[in-house]
Chains A and B, each alone.
Chain A
Amino acid sequence: MKRKLFALALGVVLAATSLVGCGSGNGTTSPEKGTENSTEGGGESGSTTEKIASLVSGGEPGSLHPALSQGTHESVILDHIFEGLMKRNQEEEIVPGMAEKFELSDDKLTYTFTLRDDIKWSNGDPVVAGDFEFAWKHALDPNTASEYAYQLYYLVGGEAFNSADVSAVSEDELKALEDAVGVKATDDKTLVVQLNQPVPYFTELCAFYTYYPVNAKLEAENPDWALDGATHVSNGPFSITEWNHDQNVKVVKNENYYNKDAVKLSGINFIISEDLNTDWQMYENNEIQANYNLPPDVLGKLKAENNPELVIPTELATYFYRFNTTKKPFNNLKVRKALSMAVDRQTLIDEVVQGGQLPAYAIVPGGVADAEGDFRENGGDYFAENLEEAKTLLAEGLKEEGMDSLSFSIVYNTSEAHKKIAEAIQAMWAELGVDVQLENVEFQVKIDREHQLDYEVSRAGWIGDYVDPNTFLDMFTSWSSQNDTGWTSPEYDELIKKAASEFDVAKRMEYLHSAEKMFMENLPVLPIYYYTRPMTVKPNLTGTFKPVNREINLTYADLQ
């Protein structure tokens, strides 16, 4: 017995040491390199000061190739290293980026972009119109299997090319579909883009990361260029030097960038981290200068003490609950209305969420331009909270459905924040005499059940793809894969279709306002709040800005 145990221990230790031998070797070499680099940086700083800002970008990027990226933890990096035909400036206006100018045809279907003369990739190659043509077609290629390919469906032939069944069509057929896509570089400086229908927010899309260019020459030589920091090439204000998986992505100022004089930072260190408390501790410890992943209790404290480092920009996003309108009694408008009116949103925000969010009485958040002014301000609120009226409505609604009491469950994906909100709403609805259970499920299961309409009330949130009411309203058309409420309306569909092809801003916004009004009169969802993006920025980091639908941008920032 004794020997056996000794043998077990020995075996375990042997196995462990043999593996550790190689493990520690790998583990220590790369970090050493890292420290060497940073000390070199520090050494040089005697003459020219190195200004490296750090911030947490989120989880490990799945890809830093524009065609394959799909989340904010990736786009926050891409937005610093790439630049599209158009870009968003500090004043949040869409202005020409790689393009010098563009012309729009009278039928609003053809854009002709002329590229700037002084634009280069970080490896010195010139940026040519063909790089855009290549990048867009590459993203649409069904073989690329890009999740964001649909962002390019506005192009003539885009959806057809992306929908081709690669196992069924021949190479020639696929090539023909590719050639039919409405983007063509007529020469190195001219890009002609043809759209299926007028798209009023197309210039905005040209600043979106799926529309970023890719160095076509490089992609032909080395298709794996985007997998490694050392081979990564981009055309924006910064370019990647190191990508240490699960640790950080380091970018330095791109000396080939045409507007490099406006870039004051010498580099940015994007730290990969998924723990809010650690993020905050790094910020407290001055390891990062900006932090937009604040733990809720820290946020509450910062707000209470009016901390000057805390800023609360609005976010283009809405938090809401879906009703399953195919299930009794949620098919009854009075019931949906009663439940919507019985939620005390301001209390929920002040006591539970604590991020300075805005109570939502409609679906499109603020910060979206109308024909004149702000879409939300012009549209106003579509209902008001009123517990007494809610009680009456609920009683009427239940009677109409032949029910005398209401008991159901709220489905939400497992998360502390969603749970707290659901608990608060549960308590608020209890005042209506409604018995609510909470059901937390895995995210995947929630999505699955929503698609199957196997729920009563479910938690949801939506961040706009682009700054336009349409990104919130077209979710609820009959053909949308995001509807999941069981509510459809031909009239509503008609309004969204009309708005989609209307180029007259005033008319178009009128359609969208009507659509939102109609949607809110039917209340297939219960809006709760418009998101904010509370963040802290150290006083020595100046000149940052945050576009309403993107993360913080440090392109023009400076570090004292």
Chain B
Amino acid sequence: MIRYIFKRLAMAFVTLWAVVTITFLIMHAIPGDPFAKEGKMPPAVYNNLMKHYNLDKPLIEQYGLYLKNLSQLDLGPSIKNKSRDVNDYIEDNFPVSLQLGVIALSCASIAGILLGMLAALKRNKWPDYLCMIIAIIGISVPSFIMATFMIQLFAVKLKLLPTSGWDGLPNYILPGIALSLMPLAYIARMMRSSMIEVMGQDYIKTAKAKGLSMGKVIRRHALRNSLIPVTTVIGTTLANLVVGSFIVEKIFRIPGLGKYFIQSIGNRDYPVILGTAVFYSAILIFVNFVVDILYVVIDPRIKLSGPQKNKKNKMLLNLQALFGRKEQIEKG
């Protein structure tokens, strides 16, 4: 067990190192630099800036310096923002993104599971169609349109909620809903098909034949089994949501981390690009690590070396969640 943990830890560090190295190489390969602007930039000013941020040094030296600072958990300054460094961003802004992500995930899971169940049990009747219409809207309407529309309706017209900001509970409602719609729709559809499948199984028929009430059949047998694929989706969605949403954060003026994750690339803010990439990778690795350990603790039959295929699949799903999100943002 101890040996397994050490092995996994070592793997985690290798993965992080690979993320740093690849990100470092890619970001220096794309054209532009943090100080490019339409305005004046006399050579002296440019040189001072390059020196100040150690960008005048050879790449290999910059890379070494970054790794050295990283080993001391120093993620470096933000070039665009002279008042805060990357550690400040993570300390101040990540908790907000996480909080929003968890709110959205809770909304999405609870409502998604309920809608999916309802749709499955009333299959091909109006509740099914209604639930699936909601799901289709959730998937097809982009969050920025939904967010702006909700502000217009609930804040400007009805004056029930604040337009934007992050000052307390009323502020959490609209962005929480806006961010939850997409995963909600996804979970509802998943839940529906899973439930339909389970309801057709022999053991459900057996349970019914035993004379159990419908409620008991659903609670005892159908629900638990149909939740299995859904929980997998919820797991990957969490990774997706805590990364923070650039669009929802921007529209609702939420001081989250998603904004910096995306904007840093456009700004060529090298330390922020690296810092956020490393941080998110570390979270993904950590979650995977905890889950794998828990597998072993709960089910001793699972070998410590683990079924490699499954793990790979999980990692893939996580990566897809991350990159799927970026594509979405670029399209938006």
Contact = CB atoms under 8 A, between A and B. Distances in A.
Contacts of A145: 48-49, 51-53
A461 B252 contact: no
B173 interface: no
Interface of A: 1-12, 14-16, 19-20, 22-24, 26-28, 31-32, 34-35, 60-65, 68, 142-147, 149-150, 153, 159, 162-163, 165-167, 226-227, 244-247, 271-275, 277-278, 281-282, 284-285, 287, 442-445, 447-449, 460-462, 465, 480-482
8 contacts: A7-B295, A7-B299, A20-B102, A147-B35, A150-B42, A163-B43, A285-B155, A285-B163
Contacts, number: 218
A31 B166 contact: yes
- From B36, B49, B167, name the one whose CB has the most chain A CB atoms within 10 angstroms: B167
B253 A271 contact: yes
A2 B164 contact: no
A24 B42 CA distance: 46
B312 interface: no
B36 A284 contact: no
A64 B81 CA distance: 10
A247 B32 contact: no
6 residue pairs, one from A and one from B, having the closest CB atoms = A444-B32, A23-B95, A246-B255, A145-B52, A163-B44, A11-B291
A447 B259 CA distance: 23
B298 A3 contact: yes
A443 B45 contact: no
Contact of B291 (A7, A20, A480): A7
Contact of A461 (B38, B234, B255, B295): B38
Contact of A443 (B84, B98, B266, B294): B266
Given A4-B310, A8-B294, A11-B287, 15 more contacts: A4-B302, A14-B290, A23-B94, A23-B96, A24-B95, A60-B81, A64-B83, A149-B45, A150-B40, A150-B45, A246-B254, A247-B253, A272-B253, A281-B164, A481-B40
Nearest to B250: A275
A287 B295 CA distance: 51
A35 B45 contact: no
A166 B152 contact: no
Contacts of A142: 44, 48, 51
B34 to A, nearest CB: 9
B98 A147 contact: no
B62 interface: no
A4 B286 contact: no
Interface of B: 30-33, 35-45, 47-49, 51-53, 80-84, 92-96, 98-99, 102, 105, 148, 151-152, 155-156, 159, 162-168, 225, 228, 231-232, 234-235, 238, 242, 250-256, 259, 266, 268, 286-287, 290-291, 294-295, 297-299, 302, 310, 314
B250 A281 contact: no
B255 A12 contact: no
Contact of A63 (B82, B95, B294, B314): B82
A146 B253 CA distance: 29
Contacts of A245: 84, 92-93, 255
B98 A35 contact: no
Residue among A9, A271, A461 with max Cβ neighbours from chain B (10 Å): A9
B95 A482 contact: no
Contact of B98 (A4, A19, A165): A19
A281 B150 CA distance: 11
Nearest to B241: A16
B163 A62 contact: no
Contacts of B39: 462, 465, 482
Contact of A5 (B38, B163, B167, B228): B228
Contact of A447 (B36, B295, B297): B36
Given A11-B287, A150-B45, A277-B148, A62 B36 contact: no
A4 B299 contact: yes
A228 to B, nearest CB: 9
A125 to B, nearest CB: 22
Contacts of B302: 4
A76 B215 CA distance: 63
A273 B287 contact: no
Tell me which of A20, A444, A448 has the highest count of chain B C-beta atoms within 10 A of its own C-beta. A444
A5 to B, nearest CB: 5
Contact of B299 (A3, A68, A445, A462): A3
A462 B38 contact: yes
A388 B50 CA distance: 51
B242 to A, nearest CB: 8
Contacts of A65: 82
